[in-house]
Amino acid sequence: MGVIEIKVDNKNEVFENKNEDFIFLSDIADRLSKNHDGVVTAALKGNKLCDLYEKVYNGEEIELLDFYNEDGARVYFRGLSFVFITACRKLFEKAKVTVEHSLSNGMYYTIDIGRELTDKDIENIKSKMRNIISADCPIKKVEINKMEIGQIFRILGRIDKAELIEKKDEDKAKIYECEGYIDHFYGMMPPSTKYTDVFDIVKYKKGVVLMGPSSEDASVPEKFVDQPKLSNIYDESEEWATKLGVMNVIDLNRIIEQGNYGEVIRIVEALHEKKISQIADMIKERGSKVILIAAPSSSGKTSFAHRLSIQMKVSGVKSRAISLDDYFIEREHTPKKEDGSYDYESIKAIDVEKFNEDMNILLNGGEIEKIKYDFKTGKRIFTGEKLSIKENESIIIEGIHGLNPELTKHIDNEKKFRIYISALTQINLDSHNRIPTTDLRLVRRIVRDFNFRGYSAEETIKSWKNVREGERENIFPYQEEADVMFNSACVYELSVLKKFVDPLLKEVNIESKEYLEAARILSFMQYFANIEDTSDIPSTSIIREFIGGSKIV
Work out the average pLDDT over 260-287.
96
Dist CA 494 CA 441 (whole Å): 10
pTM over 0.75: yes
**What pLDDT shows up at residue 1?**
56
Q: Which residues contact 209 (CB under 8 A, 6 or more apart)?
A: 103, 104, 106, 107, 108, 109, 201, 202, 224
pLDDT one-digit tens code per residue, 86-143 = 999 999 988 999 999 999 999 999 999 999 999 999 999 999 999 999 999 999 999 9
Comparing CA positions, the residue from 118, 121, 166 lying closest to residue 145 is: 166
Indicate the residue type of 358. Answer: D
Chain CA centroid to CA 296, Å: 10
Least confident of 17-26, 210-219, 263-272: 17-26
> How is the chain split among helix, strand and coil, in percent rounded to 5?
40, 25, 35
pLDDT one-digit tens code per residue, 148-170 = 999 999 999 999 899 999 988 89
Helices assigned H by DSSP within 170-300: 228-244, 249-257, 261-286
Task: Tell how strand 200-204 and strand 96-103 pair up.
Answer: unpaired
> Which carries the bigger pLDDT value, residue 501 or residue 391?
501
Domains and CATH numbers, the chain: 2-66 (3.10.20.30), 230-547 (3.40.50.300)
Dist CA 445 CA 423 (whole Å): 12
Q: How confident is the model at residue 338 (pLDDT cuts 50, 70, 90)?
A: confident
Task: Tell how strand 290-294 and strand 416-422 pair up.
Answer: parallel
Whole-angstrom distance between the N-terminal and C-terminal Cα of the chain?
67
pLDDT one-digit tens code per residue, 46-87 = 889 999 999 999 889 999 999 999 999 999 999 999 999 999
**What pLDDT shows up at residue 4?**
84
Ordered DSSP codes for 425-451:
---BSBTTB---HHHHHHHHHHHHHHH
Proportion of the chain above pLDDT 70, given as a percent: 99
Query: Above 90 in pLDDT, residue 2?
Result: no
Q: Which residues contact 255 (CB under 8 A, 6 or more apart)?
A: 245, 246, 261, 264
pLDDT one-digit tens code per residue, 242-259 = 888 998 999 999 999 999
CB-count burial class (<10 Å; 0-12, 13-18, 19+) for 422: buried
Dist CA 187 CA 192 (whole Å): 15
Indicate the residue type of 393. Answer: E
Beta strands in 93-183 (DSSP E): 96-103, 106-112, 140-145, 172-178, 181-183
Dist CA 398 CA 405 (whole Å): 14
Q: In what order do the strands lie in the sheet with 207-211?
A: 96-103, 106-112, 207-211, 200-204
pLDDT one-digit tens code per residue, 178-205 = 999 999 998 999 999 999 999 999 999 9
* DSSP SS3 for 138: strand
